[in-house]
A and B are shown apart, each in its own frame.
Chain A
Amino acid sequence: MIYQGKQKIWADYQKEIPDNRWFYVRSCIRQNFFPGAERMFLEICRNVLGKDFFETEYHTTCGGIAYHCDTIPQETVMTIIARQFALMTEAGYENYVASCITSFGNYAETLETWREFPEVETRIRELLWKACRREFKTPKYLAHASDLIYKYRNEIAARAKFRLINRFTGEPLRVVEHIGCHYSKMFPSKGVGGAEYPYVLCGMIEAWGGNVIDYPERRHCCGYGFRQYHVKANRGYSVSNTYKKFESMEPYHPDFIITNCPGCPYFMDRWQYVIAETEGKTYGENGYGIPVLTYEEVASLVLGYNPWDIGLQLHQVAVEPLLDKLGIEYDPDAKYKGLNKKDLLRPELPGILKCC
């Protein structure tokens, strides 16, 4: 591996990310998958770094799932997106940041379509006006939320309580980074580091002390993909892709996986359970799995938040071995207590995949 070669490519794919004043839109599914992640994003940006991030309860889905399942036409998606832009314009913001990779891809695709076919934009403006009497300006800057954490990575590192170092060995943690497909595969220039060697998550890991693993199937899909998973007959295809990835990363013994997409962490996390129960195979140490975290969760751990306050108990793969390596103290009894200390009940333990 020639690290300088990668640096050269990274230098070619840098995008301008304003430091402050962002209009934030959430993801449909992340709230259910890993609810701590988005809350921690706002917590870090607003309260730790003191930035202005605005969000409104009036925003809706971007229509991405329906669009990619071929159940609504592109005009509908564009009009939904136009309405989100209208909310941003009304709130007085010009920079638009999406929590979801699919949304980010949709926004990027829509803006590119309008740039190339201005008559489509004109038509969408008419449709939006007819539908809800709103008008909008297109965002000056479009970012994915991971672009922002990438932007703030050094500020976060400066405030870090923990570094991504294995405290038993003193070695940097070995981290697999996995980018959502719609982050830069459609428009390489819209992602930090491009599509072949994306840097957005690498940059965070490097800034926080870890080592990134480059393994053969790093480009491969996580196994989600709307049409794969949502059709039950295709789920074997979905888990087969995840299996291929894990088989490829296994020799590197990753300590954890960092992701920036709603679907990737969820499926790489849950499918480890299915792979264990159907194939008898686990990929972590001593029968555990490899923890799969969102970048917000990793940033929160680095900043010293309580693992149970940021929702790590919602992961199928136990995070405790990772917390031990990082030297983060936690109360095993508090794992299944809600923020209000209410008992959340304990999940049933799997047969093969070891969980705490």
Chain B
Amino acid sequence: MKENIVIIGGGIAGMEAASQLLDLGYKPIIIEKSDHLGGHVAEWNCLFPDMTPAGDVVKNLVTRSAGANIFLNTEISFVNKLKDSYNIMLSNGISIITKIILVTTGFSLFDASKKEEYGYGIYDQVITNKDLEHWFNTGDDKRVGDCGMNAVGFVHCVGSRDEKARNSQCSKVCCITAVKQAIEIKQKFPEAMVYCFYMDLRMFGKKYEDFYISAQRDYGIRFIRGRVSEVSENIDGKVIVKAEDTLSGKPVKVTLDLLVLMAGMVCCKDSTKVANMISLPVDSDGFLKSRDNVTGIIEAPKEGIFYAGACTGPKTVPETLAEARAAALNVHLYINRMK
């Protein structure tokens, strides 16, 4: 069991795979560029559809993967291809020779300020889904709560399904995240009118539709089918949102105390960096290209390289964890075949 297994990225995919590999008797190495494990999930408050605390999920994974060799604050400086293995040089000066690399670099949150018309970073009362989770976690954000909170809006598909933002893909989780966050806002501010501006509602996962019905029936959240076209600020510092109410066929506008942009998932530049270092192909959506999008999503087209999680496209937490387990098993079978 001396085989080196290098896992690039210490998010939930990397940790889940590591924990499975530990159970199979291996000693995987996790390389994480930040100073903590858990990736994006560590910054989230709770997870749809059962409001599972994200902190518990991360804590559990950190405990289970603790036996791995974990390098925090570490990046990959370069990779040399040897005859049948890779020499990975880390920023801390350590080099690792390995035949197996599991890429779990995840995604980046779309930079909402790129959608200039939505005024993120310009108008005080425009925040992102991530900012709102931060507020749920810490209560530390003057933009939320300090204002009247009479009306709150959520904009779906910010930077997703948007060719002009160069992301034609659906980010998959924003619809349900908006429903979740809208319910949470309504729980905290029962008097607030909460609007969701959507193009389509993609409630594909287990219990998502129930969650959506509950948002409508029990919380009275208003779903307006129309993409927000522009946001501006009025003299009181509130935001005015313009969209089309496509069901009425009329333009609609509303004044809000807070506008939350559902920033989507885009390929992470670290994935691209890793892809360049080991010559992995990138798919047309910018995410890493799998051997096959139906039967081999967790395998790279190259021997010994595996993927798990959002590095190959937007994924939910359970999908990511399932891929991580599958990837760990694939690594195990690959090592057995090599013998």
- In the complex, are there CB atoms of A and B closer than 8 Å? yes
The residue among B123, B124, B230, B232 with the most chain A CB atoms within 10 A of its own CB is B232
A9 touches B234 (CB 8 A): no
Q: Is B121 an interface residue (CB 8 A)?
A: yes
- For A218, give the chain B residue with the smallest CB separation: B232
Q: Is A171 an interface residue (CB 8 A)?
A: no
Q: Is B94 an interface residue (CB 8 A)?
A: no
**1/0 per position for A206-231, CB-CB distance to B under 8 A?**
00000000111111000000000000
Q: Which of B116, B235, B237 sits near A197, CB closer than 8 Å?
A: B116
The smallest beta-carbon distance between B155 and chain A, in angstroms, is 16
A1 touches B235 (CB 8 A): no
Q: Which of B122, B230, B240 sits near A6, CB closer than 8 Å?
A: B122
- For B121, give the chain A residue with the smallest CB separation: A5
Q: Is B233 an interface residue (CB 8 A)?
A: yes
Q: Is B283 an interface residue (CB 8 A)?
A: no
Interface of A is mostly: loop
Q: Is B113 an interface residue (CB 8 A)?
A: yes
Q: With A217-B232, A218-B232 given, is the CB distance from A1 to B123 under 8 Å?
A: yes
A2 touches B122 (CB 8 A): yes
List the B side residues contacting A197 at CB < 8 Å. Answer: 116, 122
Q: Is B117 an interface residue (CB 8 A)?
A: yes
- For B255, give the chain A residue with the smallest CB separation: A216
Q: Is A232 an interface residue (CB 8 A)?
A: no
List the A side residues contacting B123 at CB < 8 Å. Answer: 1-2
A251 touches B121 (CB 8 A): no
The smallest beta-carbon distance between B125 and chain A, in angstroms, is 10
Which of chain A's residues 272-293 have a Cβ closer than 8 Å to chain B? none
Whole-angstrom CA separation of A2 from B142 in the bound complex: 14
Whole-angstrom CA separation of A207 from B275 in the bound complex: 48
List the A side residues contacting B117 at CB < 8 Å. Answer: 196
List the B side residues contacting A219 at CB < 8 Å. Answer: 230, 232
List the B side residues contacting A5 at CB < 8 Å. Answer: 113, 121-122
B113 touches A252 (CB 8 A): no
How many A-B contacts at CB < 8 Å in the complex? 39
Q: Which of A1, A194, A216 sits near B122, CB closer than 8 Å?
A: A1
A196 touches B116 (CB 8 A): yes
Q: Is A342 an interface residue (CB 8 A)?
A: no
Q: Which of B116, B124, B233 sits near A216, CB closer than 8 Å?
A: B233
**1/0 per position for A75-111, CB-CB distance to B under 8 A?**
0000000000000000000000000000000000000
B234 touches A216 (CB 8 A): yes
- For A194, give the chain B residue with the smallest CB separation: B116
Whole-angstrom CA separation of A210 from B234 in the bound complex: 20
A2 touches B116 (CB 8 A): no
**1/0 per position for B112-129, CB-CB distance to A under 8 A?**
010011000111100000
Which of chain B's residues 285-337 have a Cβ closer than 8 Å to chain A? none
Q: Is A130 an interface residue (CB 8 A)?
A: no
B234 touches A2 (CB 8 A): no
- For A6, give the chain B residue with the smallest CB separation: B122
List the A side residues contacting B124 at CB < 8 Å. Answer: 1-2
The smallest beta-carbon distance between B253 and chain A, in angstroms, is 9
The smallest beta-carbon distance between A117 and chain B, in angstroms, is 22
A216 touches B113 (CB 8 A): no
Whole-angstrom CA separation of A46 from B117 in the bound complex: 38
B232 touches A8 (CB 8 A): no
The smallest beta-carbon distance between B227 and chain A, in angstroms, is 16
List the A side residues contacting B237 at CB < 8 Å. Answer: 1
Whole-angstrom CA separation of A216 from B237 in the bound complex: 10
Q: With A2-B122, A5-B121 given, is the CB distance from A214 to B116 under 8 Å?
A: no
List the A side residues contacting B122 at CB < 8 Å. Answer: 1-2, 5-6, 9, 197
B121 touches A216 (CB 8 A): no
The smallest beta-carbon distance between A5 and chain B, in angstroms, is 4
The residue among A194, A216, A218 with the most chain B CB atoms within 10 A of its own CB is A216
The residue among B122, B233, B237, B240 with the most chain A CB atoms within 10 A of its own CB is B122
B235 touches A252 (CB 8 A): yes
The residue among B113, B116, B121, B230 with the most chain A CB atoms within 10 A of its own CB is B116
Whole-angstrom CA separation of A194 from B113 in the bound complex: 14
The residue among A5, A8, A9, A217 with the most chain B CB atoms within 10 A of its own CB is A5
**1/0 per position for B145-158, CB-CB distance to A under 8 A?**
00000000000000
- For B115, give the chain A residue with the smallest CB separation: A196
List the B side residues contacting A2 at CB < 8 Å. Answer: 121-124
The smallest beta-carbon distance between A26 and chain B, in angstroms, is 33
The smallest beta-carbon distance between A249 and chain B, in angstroms, is 10
List the B side residues contacting A194 at CB < 8 Å. Answer: 116
Q: Which of B113, B116, B230, B233 sits near A1, CB closer than 8 Å?
A: B233
Q: List 14 A-B contacts (CB under 8 A).
A: A1-B237, A2-B121, A2-B122, A5-B113, A5-B122, A8-B113, A9-B116, A196-B117, A197-B122, A214-B232, A215-B232, A215-B234, A215-B235, A251-B235
Given contacts A197-B116, A214-B233, 10 further A-B contacts (CB under 8 A): A5-B121, A5-B122, A8-B121, A194-B116, A196-B116, A197-B122, A215-B235, A216-B240, A219-B232, A251-B234
Q: Top 3 closest A-B pairs, CB basis? A: A5-B121, A196-B116, A216-B232
Residue numbers of B with Cβ under 8 A of A are: 113, 116-117, 121-124, 230, 232-235, 237, 240
